[in-house]
Structure 1
Amino acid sequence: MRPRNLVGSPFPLLLLAASFALAAYAGVRLLADDWFGVALWLVGAALLHDLVLLPLYAAADRAVAGGLGAAGRREWVMYVRVPAALSALLLLVWFPLITGTVDRRYRSATGLSPDGFLARWLLITAVLFAASALLLALRSRRAGKRRSPAVH
C-alpha cells in the first residue's frame, strides 16, 4: 500500500496541525498568569458537569421520553429536546446578566442597560418551543397525508 492511501489528502493533516498549534498557543497564553486557577476551574467545571448536570438533564430527558413514549410518540422527543437544549445554553450564557450579578460591569463595558435579559431569554425560549411545535405539526400532517388512502 502506498502512503498516500493511508494518509489521504494533505489538507486535513495541515488543518489538524494548525489547530494543534493554535490550541497550544492558547494554552500557553491562558496558563501563563494563573495556571493553578485555570486548572482548578477546568477540573471544577468537569466535575460539576459530570456529577451534577449530566444526571439532571439525563433524568429530564428520560422523563420527557417516558411521557411521550407512553402515547407511542417517542419520535416527538427531539421536538422537546432541541429547544430545551438551546434554551439551557442561552441561560448558561446569559445567567450573570439575568441574575443581575454583573450589572455595573456590563454597563461600564458596553454602555448599555443590562435590563431585560430575563424577558429576552423567556421570549426566545417561547419562540423556540413554538417553532418546534409548528414543525412537529407540519411534519405530522404531512406524514398523515401520506398514510391515508386517497378517496375520490
Structure 2
Amino acid sequence: MGDRSGQLVAGRLRAGYGAPWWHLLLLVGCFAVAGWVVLRLAGEATAVRMLIWFVAAVIVHDLVMFPVYAAADRALLTATRSAAATRSATAAQADVGNGSRPARLSVANHVRVPALGAALLFVVYLPGILRLGGGTFTAATGLTQQPYLTRWLLASVAMFAVSGLWLAVRLYRVQLRDRR
C-alpha cells in the first residue's frame, strides 16, 4: 500500500508541477546557491554596480541580441530549406523508378554550432580581441593583447572547418547508402 501511495503522490506532484520531483529538488538547490551568493554580496561595496551590470546584461540580451540571432537563425533555416528542397526535387527526379526516398540531411546545425562557439569565444575574450584596457593588461601580465584577434579568428576558422568536414563525411555516407 505504501508503494502505491508514493506513486500517487509522485503522480499528483508531476501533474501539478509539470516536471519530475528531481527537477524541483534541483531548482531548490539552485535557489539556495543563488541565495548564498546574494548574502555574500550584500556587504560588498560594489554590489549595486554588479546588480546594475546584471540587469543591463539581461536587457541587452533579451531586447537586442535575442532578436538579432533569432533573425539570423531564421534566415539560415530559410536558406538551407530552400537549398534542401531544390536538392530533394532533383534527387526525386533521379529516383523515379526505384521507389527510394532520398535521405534528409540538415545543414543548419553545421553552421549553428561553430557560429555559437565563435560568438562565445568573442564574448569571453572581447576586451583582448578589441584591445581594450591594453595598459592594464600589460601591467598585470607583461604581455600584449596583439595575438587575441588572430587566435580568435584561427579558432573560429578551425571550428567551421571541422564542422564542414563532418558535414562532408555525413554527405558521403548518405550518398553511399543511397547507392545501395
**Offset at residue 90 of structure 1 (A):** 0.5
Closer, same or farther: CA 31–140 of 1 in aligned 2, 3 Å: farther
Q: Note the 1:104-143 alignment, pairs <5 A.
A: 104-143=135-174
**Offset at residue 38 of structure 1 (A):** 2.1
Amino acid at match of 2:66: L
Q: Note the 1:2-151 alignment, pairs <5 A.
A: 2=6, 6=10, 13=25, 19-32=30-43, 33-72=45-84, 75-149=106-180
Alpha-carbon separation, structure 2, partners of 1:116 and 1:31: 38
Unaligned 5+ runs, structure 2: 14-19, 86-104
TM-score (norm 1): 0.82
Residues matched between the structures, number:
147
Alpha-carbon separation, structure 1, partners of 2:172 and 2:42: 54
Closer, same or farther: CA 133–114 of 1 in aligned 2, 3 Å: same
Unaligned 5+ runs, structure 1: none
Q: Do the aligned residues in 2 keep the contact of 1:31 with 1:38 (CA within 8 Å)? A: no
Amino acid at match of 1:25: W
Report the RMSD for the aligned CA atoms in angstroms: 2.6
